[in-house]
Chains A and B, each alone.
Chain A
Amino acid sequence: MAVTEGVRPVAERTSAKRPNRLFKNMTAKIASIPMILTALVVFIGCTLWTIYHSFTKSRLLPAPDKWVGWDQYERLWNTRRWLVSIENLAIYGVCSLVLSLVIGFTLAALLDRKIRGEAVFRTIFLYPFALSFIVTGLVWQWILNPQFGIQQVVRNWGWEGFTFDPLNNAEIVIYGILIAGIWQGSGFIMVIMLAGLRGIDQDIWKASRVEGIPAWKTYIFIIIPMMRPIFVTALVLIAAGIIKVYDLVVAQTSGGPGIASEVPAKYVIEKMFQAQNLGQGFAASTMMLVSVLVVLIPWAYLEFGGKRRD
Chain B
Amino acid sequence: MTDATQTTPQRTAAAMSGPRGPKPRRRITPSNIMLYSILFVASVYYLLPLYVMVVTSLKGMPEIRLGNVFSPPVEVTFEPWVKAWSEACTGINCDGLSRGFFNSVNILIPSVVLSIAIASVNGYALANWKFKGSEVFFTILIFGAFIPYQVMIYPIVILLREMGQGISAVTGTDFRLMGSLWGLVIVHSIFGMPILTLLFRNYFTSLPDELFKAARVDGVGFWGIYFRIMLPMSLPIFVVAIILQVTGIWNDFLFGVIYTKPDTYPMTVQLNNIVNSVQGVKEYNVNMAATLLTGLVPLVIYFVSGKLFVRGIAAGAVKG
Give A residues with C-beta under 8 Å from B. 21, 24-25, 27-29, 31-32, 34-36, 38-47, 49-51, 62, 103, 106-107, 110-111, 113, 115, 121-136, 138-143, 145, 148-150, 152-153, 156, 183, 187-188, 191-192, 195-196, 229-230, 233, 236-237, 240, 243-244, 246-247, 250-251, 254, 265, 268-269, 272-273, 278, 281-282, 284-286, 288-289, 292, 296, 300
Contacts and interface: CB of A to CB of B under 8 A. Distances in A.
A237 B56 CA distance: 34
Scoring B154, B159, B189, B313 by chain A CB atoms within 10 A of each residue's CB, the highest score goes to B154
B227 interface: no
Interface of B: 35-36, 38-39, 42-43, 45-50, 52-53, 56, 64, 67-70, 118, 121-122, 124-126, 129, 131-132, 134, 137-138, 140-141, 143-156, 158-159, 189-190, 193, 197, 221-223, 247, 250-254, 257-258, 268, 271-272, 275-276, 284, 287-288, 291, 294-295, 298-299, 301-303, 306, 309-310, 313-314, 317-319
B253 A247 contact: yes
Contacts of B318: 192, 195-196, 230, 233
B223 A251 contact: no
Given A131-B251, A191-B313, A123 B306 contact: yes
Task: Return the 3 tightest CB-CB contacts between A and B, nearest first.
Answer: A132-B251, A43-B144, A28-B129
Given A24-B131, A25-B129, A38-B190, A152 B295 contact: no
A139 B49 contact: yes
A46 B291 CA distance: 34
B131 A29 contact: yes
A130 B309 contact: yes
Nearest to B136: A39
Contact of A148 (B69, B134, B143, B268): B69
Given A42-B152, A292-B146, A135 B295 contact: yes
A286 to B, nearest CB: 7
A143 B152 contact: no
A124 B50 CA distance: 10
Given A25-B129, A128-B46, A254-B276, 6 more contacts: A32-B131, A35-B122, A139-B49, A183-B49, A237-B317, A251-B275
25 contacts: A28-B134, A31-B122, A31-B125, A31-B222, A38-B144, A42-B144, A110-B39, A126-B302, A127-B299, A135-B251, A139-B288, A142-B69, A142-B284, A142-B287, A148-B284, A152-B68, A192-B314, A196-B318, A240-B146, A251-B272, A251-B275, A269-B257, A273-B258, A281-B154, A285-B150
A128 B141 contact: no
A157 B122 CA distance: 59
Contact of A269 (B121, B150, B158, B302): B150
Contacts, number: 260
A265 B150 contact: yes
B137 A132 contact: no
Contact of B141 (A39, A229, A246): A39
B112 to A, nearest CB: 16
A265 B69 CA distance: 31
B278 to A, nearest CB: 10
B253 A191 contact: no
A42 B257 CA distance: 19
Contacts of A281: 150, 154
B151 A38 contact: no
A75 B257 CA distance: 27
Contacts of B252: 132
Contacts of A42: 144, 152, 156, 159, 190
Contacts of B126: 32
A138 B271 contact: yes
A224 to B, nearest CB: 16
Contacts of B70: 153
Contact of B152 (A36, A50, A121, A123): A50
B253 A187 contact: no
Nearest to B197: A35
Contacts of B39: 107, 110-111, 115, 121
